[in-house]
Homo-oligomer: A and B are copies of this chain.
C-alpha cells in the first residue's frame, strides 16, 4: 500500500530534482556527487532512493563515469536496476563491467523479465553466463529462454510475467484470484484465458472485467479476435500492429500457440522511437548505434565509413568533370556554374528519397501504389525542373552575359531534376527488394546519380552547344 505521508519526508520531490526546463538541478547533482565521493550511503539513499527509475537513469548519465558504479554499490539493495534500462547502451555496458557479477545478479533478480533481458542482452556471452549462474534455476531458465530468441524479436522484448486464468472461471473468481495472489506482475492491463495445455484462448481487458457482474464467464468477455504476436516476430512489425489497432498489450505465443509472454505499449513506444531514430540517423549518414556517450574514437570511426562511401561518389563526379577539362579551360564560367546544377539535383533527390524511405517504413508505399508514386515524383521533378530552368537560365544570362549559357543550364536543370526524382524512388525501392535497409544505403547511390547526371548533362550540353571539343 502507498503511504504517501510516510514517504514525503524522505522523498526527493519533483521540484527538487528538475528545474522548469526539465533539466536536472545543478545543486541536486552536486549533493549526489558529494555523497558518492564521501561514501555516504544514507544521504544517497535519501536523495536517490525514491526517484522514478527514469530520473535515476538521467542522474546516472549526468554523473562522471567513475562515480556511476560507486553510486550503485553504495545504494545496495535500494538501487532499482530498472534505471539501467534508461541509460545509453555504452553507459550501461561500462557500469556492468565495473560491478561484481553478484551485485548485478541480485539487481537483475528484482526486475521483470523484459528489463532483465534488456540489461543482459548486450553483454558478452561470458559475462551473461557469470551473472545467470548467480540466479535461482527458475529465473535463470526464463531469462536463458528469452535470450535465445533473435535480437529485436517479440520474444526478446516480452515480459514473461502475466495473469492467465482457465476458461471455466467467471468474473468473480478472476477478481478474487487477483485480490488473493501476492505475486502479480507490477503492472498489467489484461488477463489471458488459457486452456490447461497453455494454449491461448483470448484476452480480457481490465475495463471489461470491471464493468461486468461477478457471475459472468470470462469467455463471454474475451476478445478472441485479437491478434497474437509470435515470439519470433520482428519488433518493428509488432509495433506497426500495436499502432494500427491502438493496443495497450498483446499476448505473445510460441510456435504451438502457447502463451509465453506479454508485450505492453511502453515496450512498443520504445521500439517506435528507436526505429524512427534509426531512420533519422541513417538518412543523415550516422550509424543507428551512435550515442552521445560513445568515445570520440568510436564516433569518428563510425562516421568515417559513410564519408568514405561519399568520397567514392565524389571521385566519380570528379572523373566526369575531368572528361571535360578542355571545355572548362576554354570557358571557365562552366566551372563556376556546374556545382549549382549538381547541388540542386542532390537536394531534389534527397527530397524524393526521404519521402520514399519514410513511406516504405510506415508501409504507406508498397507495390500496390508504387507506380502512382513514381508518376507523382516524376511530375513533381519535371515541374520544379522547369521552374528552376527558367530561374537559373535568367540568372546565368544576366551574370555572364552569354545568352546561350542560360539555355544550356536550363536544359541541364530539367535533366538533373528529373533524374533526381527517378533515382530518389528507384534506389530505395530496389534496395528494399534486395533486403537492404533503404534508410542506410540510399543516400550515396542517389547522390552519385544526381552528381554524375548533373555534371555530365551540364558540361556535355555545353560542349556540344558551344562546339568546345
Contacts and interface: CB of A to CB of B under 8 A. Distances in A.
Contacts of A2: 220-223
Contacts of A455: 339
Nearest to A353: B284
Number of contact residues on A: which range applies? 35 or more
Contact of A175 (B210, B332, B337): B210
B344 A311 contact: yes
A280 B286 contact: no
22 contacts: A2-B221, A23-B366, A52-B245, A54-B246, A179-B211, A189-B206, A248-B265, A281-B358, A284-B354, A286-B355, A290-B355, A297-B383, A299-B380, A303-B384, A307-B344, A307-B351, A311-B344, A311-B388, A315-B340, A322-B336, A325-B335, A339-B339
> What 6 pairs across the A-B complex have the smallest Cβ distances?
A284-B354, A276-B276, A246-B266, A335-B335, A206-B206, A314-B340
Interface string A353-392: 1110011001111111100010010011001100110011
A457 interface: no
A347 interface: yes
A285 B211 contact: no
A251 B388 CA distance: 51
Interface stretch (A40-48, A127-135, A255-263, A267-275): A267-275
A21 interface: yes
Contacts of A244: 52, 54
A343 interface: yes
Chain A interface helix/strand/loop/mixed = helix
A346 to B, nearest CB: 8
A292 interface: yes
A283 interface: yes
A296 B207 contact: no
B269 A265 contact: yes
B207 A188 contact: yes
Nearest to A391: B311
Contacts of A432: none
A354 B209 contact: no
Given A299-B376, A328-B335, A354 B280 contact: yes
- Copies of this chain, count: 2
Interface of A: 1-4, 14, 21-24, 52, 54, 62, 175, 178-179, 181, 184, 187-189, 205-207, 209-213, 216, 220-225, 227, 240, 242-246, 248, 265-266, 268-270, 272-273, 276-277, 279-281, 283-286, 290, 292, 296-297, 299-300, 303-304, 306-307, 310-311, 313-315, 317-318, 321-322, 325, 328-329, 332-333, 335-340, 342-344, 347-348, 350-351, 353-355, 358-359, 362-369, 373, 376, 379-380, 383-384, 387-388, 391-392, 395, 447, 451, 455
A303 B22 contact: no
Contact of A318 (B54, B205, B216, B339): B339
Given A187-B205, A280-B280, A300-B384, 15 more contacts: A179-B213, A187-B207, A243-B273, A277-B358, A283-B284, A285-B351, A286-B355, A297-B383, A300-B387, A311-B391, A311-B392, A313-B343, A318-B339, A339-B342, A339-B455
Nearest to A355: B286
A350 B310 CA distance: 12
A284 B355 contact: yes
A238 to B, nearest CB: 12
A248 B351 CA distance: 36
Nearest to A287: B351
A427 B187 CA distance: 43
B384 A304 contact: yes
Contact of A285 (B303, B347, B387): B347
Contacts of A368: 23-24, 62
A269 B242 contact: yes
A325 B328 CA distance: 10
Contacts of A344: 307, 310-311, 314
Contacts of A297: 383
B310 A347 contact: yes
A438 to B, nearest CB: 13
Nearest to A367: B23
B307 A388 contact: yes
Contacts of A310: 343-344, 347
From A21, A54, A178, A311, name the one whose CB has the most chain B CB atoms within 10 angstroms. Answer: A311
Contacts of A362: 277
